[in-house]
Amino acid sequence: NYDIYGVTVSEVEVDVLTGAFQIVRVDLMEDCGQSMSPEVDIGQAEGAFMMGLGYFTSEEITFDPDTGSMLNHRTWTYKPPGAKDIPQDFRVYFKKNAPNPFGILKSKATGEPPLCMSASVAFAIREAVMAARKEAGKTDEDWVDMDLPFTVERIWLNGLACREMYTI
């Protein structure tokens, strides 16, 4: 039984007129104990982060309200992250000289924590949307309900885009 510590900082760019976003940079640091294979552990951390990214930004399961059958069971309607969703600058660091006296060969888990740390992207998107709302003059509210996942449609709906914003 042991604790794992980690921190993640994510930088995103959000287009509130379309709802599209890009992940510009992610810095992820994790306490993985004494790594048995740093290359494998980096791959595990990156993969888990991307899996969490799907949970927070694109993978939404919808059901038919009458039959209960799943409506998005194909790749055309269910959107896991793709190659273009990988952060443009993705940096993974492991804490050095932190052997785990309770783990196998002094190691710790490396895949599960980054899945949770990918929430930093959702927080960054939310902050960008709130900044856009403030810039548009909508400052009378401190909180806006935005359900996960933060799909392009949900970002667009919460970004306060209106017809006047689309004119050149």
Catalytic entry in 11, 59, 60, 112: 112
Instruction: Decide if 72 contacts 60 (C-beta within 8 A).
Output: yes
Residue 49 backbone phi and psi in degrees, to 5 = -60, -45
pLDDT at 165 over 80: no
Mean pLDDT calculated for residue range 5-14: 97
Separation between Cα atoms, residue 151 and residue 129, nearest integer Å = 12
pLDDT digits (tens, 9 = 90+) for 132-148: 888 888 776 777 888 99
What is the pLDDT at residue 134?
Answer: 86
Q: Specify the pLDDT at position 54.
A: 96
pLDDT of amino acid 31 = 93
For the domain covering 6-166, report its CATH number: 3.30.365.10
pLDDT category of residue 155 using cuts at 50, 70 and 90: very high
**pLDDT tens digits, 44-100:** 999 999 999 999 999 999 999 999 999 998 888 888 999 999 999 999 999 988 888
pTM of the model: 0.89
Residue 53 sits at φ, ψ, to 5 deg, of -60, -40
Kindly give, in sequence order, each residue whose CB lies less than 8 Å from that of residue 70, ignoring residues fewer than 6 positions away.
61, 62, 63, 64
- Active-site residue 39, yes or no? no
Return the domain boundaries, the chain: 6-166
pLDDT at 12: 98
Rounded Cα gap, residues 158 and 150, in angstroms: 10
The answer to whether 154 and 129 are in contact (CB under 8 A) is no
Q: What is the pLDDT of residue 8?
A: 98
Q: Is 34 within 8 Å of 98 (Cβ atoms)?
A: yes
